[in-house]
Amino acid sequence: MSMTSRDVFKGKWKQQVGAAKVAWGTLTEDELLQSEDHQQKLAGLLQDHYDIAREEAEKQVNDFIHPSKR
């Protein structure tokens, strides 16, 4: 992830933890906060909690972070 993308993700993440909790209700707030700045970590959590393929988890994270690119 480029520095700009990382900064965008980090800033957006702090603003979006509540929305992420709604989107992925089985994840705890602590898990969401710990995944800040780590898209791959969040994708891994989704993969584990929802028993989905890595590609699907990464797509969900990307769609959440960049909703205009859907």
What's the whole-model pTM score? 0.75
DSSP codes, 8-46: HHHHHHHHHHHHHHHHTTTS-HHHHHHTTT-HHHHHHHH
Banded model confidence at residue 3, pLDDT cuts 50, 70, 90 = low
Average pLDDT taken over every residue of the chain: 84
Domain ranges in the chain are 3-69
Distance CA 68, CA 70 (A): 6
Give the mean model confidence (pLDDT) for residues 7-26.
80
Q: Looking at the domain that runs over 3-69, which CATH code has it been given?
A: 1.10.1470
Q: Could you report the per-residue pLDDT of 41-64, keeping only the tens digit for each?
A: 999 999 999 999 999 999 999 998
